[in-house]
Amino acid sequence: MEQNQQEAHKKKRTYRSAEQIEKCLNDQAQSGLTIKAYCEANGMSEKNFYRWTKKYRGRKVKRRKRNQAAKAGFEKIEVVQDNGLHLRSSLFAEIGNLRIYKEVPVEYLKALLS
């Protein structure tokens, strides 16, 4: 047991860049090895590997969503001259002194009236 503790203290800490970490994550996924086997074969801690997985795969998902949104592109819209009547023309409902300028569900109107 004492020998295991000494070996644990002898392990040198390795710092990896974000690119190196992402490469490790991709290599493990493509290797077909379990995380435990991959970590043992490459001399790294499972604990760190799981921490990296949580941190960097989350980034990858966010980046992918951002890229998909960017690929959606832009839609061409036509600008219509503002005649100043936009508030009046978009009036959806008027009940007494209450004016609603946005379409709302019927249940909402019923709740307002009761």
pLDDT in tens, the chain (114 residues): 555 555 555 567 778 888 888 888 889 889 988 989 999 999 889 999 889 888 877 776 667 777 776 666 666 667 666 655 554 557 777 777 777 777 878 888 778 777
Give me the DSSP letters along 34-86.
-HHHHHHHHT--HHHHHHHHHHHHHHHHHHHHHHHHHHH-----PPPPP-S-H
pLDDT of residue 47: 92
- Write down the pTM of the prediction: 0.43
> Quick count: other Cβ atoms within 10 Å of Cβ 93?
13
